Structure 1
């Protein structure tokens, strides 16, 4: 990873030394979440290294505002766009419009299936969900005698969280003693808190909650703590927060998948610059169609190795 980071810095340094006056338009999902803040920070830090300008628009979960931002970038004739899409299908027309206007587009976190997108940068979500499912399977077999009640609390409209849940459930599919009580809406902390509060009353014998996103984990953990259920109902989830770190340390959370959003932001800039100026500077502007960034599974056994600083790669 250190070698990759050094190569990345060299590439950006070379591009900066040529003094390219480039402007990248960035539109994210929301900057209210630590995950998307880290992506944006990675983009900005890489842009500083390369000496290019970044204009960021935060639609705060509004697809209509994100489409308008994309149209604005097209009108301004920015040199490239980094799109962190709210709705992968709803963004297809305006992404196509940008590409047809000659503007390179990189998507981060979720792919938009449009011919001509330079690359998708993100986590292999289904695979990581499967790995978390294996952790759940081992816990159920070793600690619960092979029988368990499991629920999912997530943002039901999120394609990413659908993939993460599909992977998780695939890992548990062969377990005859598994009872799946359902999926519950938990986009933000409050929704997740309320969902788990209701779950704990409707299913007092619930064993495990899968929360495939930052806010779902935080809300679920807060609810279980409020009702004194942290010893009985365990959580498995995505994206480390202070609460999740505390839960791993005390054993109330069994596992967390930590993505590398800061690195995703840097890689997105590198991909665009390689595409735009790589042939001129490096003699090659090839970029892979998918730039997958691995996640790491943290458990109570290895939580002490977690790095809080987003500028430090999680994967060694």
Structure 2
């Protein structure tokens, strides 16, 4: 997305790894002064799905994707072939999606015929979709890089008689159930609300927070922002929210730096995924400032920063592995001729310093990386 033509492409990939938070004026790593030190992370998340899917649809129930023993036998006998078209394979969100999809399909004797990695490039994704159609899979699972520029390519999937399960967003003009059978995502508004609730603990009465917003009309990032802003309006109306927009994730740090210079009253920051969150922290360090940051998505860099008592204070995390399992199950259900929920959302996993190791296991269904474990061993604040 270095050019205007590619902005939307980078947008999408970026939007899949979200949310930064705001830190207090207390020194980084000062756990005894951390207002979230003794917080039960579970209290940061709503009991219900907060947001709606594209078009305002309510989330279906995961139980609707369950298969009976007879249906499992039928699926295994069919030996389904499934193609995967990602936005990038260079982030943990994507690799875990593919791992979840692959594991579930193996259980059903289905085959992954290929994984397309367009590296955020619209033209590469369009070519990848068309190439995947030529392989004649029974279903394609995909996340659009740009929901406008790729729309015609996605329409060709249904026209070719191939089932389409989408991740996070629907390309413009596609209709359900003709062009696609289901969308699977996280509760993006819920993720934004978790980030807001965590950040609010660091903000004094009447304080100001900044939102570094991805300034492209991209559904999931806007949902995260809406979740954050709406929570603040409803629960901390005393807080002033100021917004700065960036278009290129690679230049998010420049936007953050200019915003912080122009708004010295800001006491904390939020952004919609981890990449701009780390850019905010870099901008703050360059200015000799220390503010709390919250965001969406747990990835290695932000998790280690959190564990070490850095400026990153919390996330509303997605569950990409579980989402991948659900996407594979949705595809098989559709291939069996069963009705599939139009939108299926997963609740946010709240992540703060005292639950970061357990949250990692919940999100990725595997042990945390050694560097994160080491950071927690060095910092007792990783425990309540």
1:8-59 deviation line (CA, Å, top 9, x unaligned):
7987993598343322111111112221121122222223332222211111
Q: 1:20 aligns with which of 78, 81, 84?
A: 78
| Aligned 1:34-45 pairs, distance under 5 A | 34-45=92-103
| Cα distance in 2 for residues equivalent to 1:148 and 1:31 | 36
| Residues 245, 303 of structure 1: 8 Å contact kept | yes
CA distance change for structure 1 residues 16 and 266 in 2, over 3 Å: closer, same or farther? farther
| Cα distance in 2 for residues equivalent to 1:43 and 1:84 | 13
2:56 aligned partner: none
1:87 aligned partner: 146
Higher relative contact order (CA 8 A, sep 6+): 2
CA distance change for structure 1 residues 29 and 11 in 2, over 3 Å: closer, same or farther? farther
CA distance change for structure 1 residues 311 and 300 in 2, over 3 Å: closer, same or farther? closer
| Residues 251, 300 of structure 1: 8 Å contact kept | no
1:60 aligned partner: 119
Q: 1:118 aligns with which of 181, 195, 213?
A: 181
Where 2:282 maps in the other structure, the secondary structure is helix
CA distance change for structure 1 residues 295 and 270 in 2, over 3 Å: closer, same or farther? same
CA distance change for structure 1 residues 89 and 203 in 2, over 3 Å: closer, same or farther? same
| Offset, 1:187 | 4.8
Deviates more, 1:244-253 or 1:208-217: 244-253
2:220 aligned partner: 160
Q: 1:263 aligns with which of 322, 340, 344?
A: 322
Where 2:353 maps in the other structure, the secondary structure is coil
| Cα distance in 1 for residues equivalent to 2:352 and 2:267 | 17
| Cα distance in 1 for residues equivalent to 2:74 and 2:165 | 20
1:48-90 deviation line (CA, Å, top 9, x unaligned):
3322222111111122222222222333322111111112233
| Residues 191, 296 of structure 2: 8 Å contact kept | no
| Cα distance in 1 for residues equivalent to 2:71 and 2:176 | 30
Where 1:207 maps in the other structure, the secondary structure is strand
| Cα distance in 2 for residues equivalent to 1:198 and 1:39 | 35
Where 1:126 maps in the other structure, the secondary structure is helix
| Offset, 1:165 | 0.7
Structure 2: stretches of 5+ with no match in the other structure: 1-61, 369-384
Considering only aligned residues, what root-mean-square deviation do their CA atoms show, in Å?
3.1
CA distance change for structure 1 residues 156 and 89 in 2, over 3 Å: closer, same or farther? closer
Is 1:275 the counterpart of 2:338? The answer is: no
1:133 aligned partner: 196
| Cα distance in 2 for residues equivalent to 1:181 and 1:21 | 53
| Offset, 1:183 | 2.0
| Residues 85, 142 of structure 2: 8 Å contact kept | yes
Where 2:266 maps in the other structure, the secondary structure is coil
1:214 aligned partner: 274
Q: 1:286 aligns with which of 306, 329, 339?
A: 339
Deviates more, 1:103-112 or 1:245-254: 245-254
Q: 2:352 aligns with which of 299, 302, 309?
A: 299
| Residues 75, 332 of structure 2: 8 Å contact kept | no
| Offset, 1:238 | 0.9
1:212-258 deviation line (CA, Å, top 9, x unaligned):
1121122222333454423xx11010111233223333162232111
Q: 1:194 aligns with which of 254, 273, 276?
A: 254
| Cα distance in 2 for residues equivalent to 1:15 and 1:155 | 47
| Residues 12, 49 of structure 1: 8 Å contact kept | no
1:224 aligned partner: 284
| Residues 192, 223 of structure 2: 8 Å contact kept | yes
CA distance change for structure 1 residues 102 and 17 in 2, over 3 Å: closer, same or farther? closer
CA distance change for structure 1 residues 22 and 181 in 2, over 3 Å: closer, same or farther? same
Where 1:171 maps in the other structure, the secondary structure is helix
| Residues 28, 84 of structure 1: 8 Å contact kept | yes
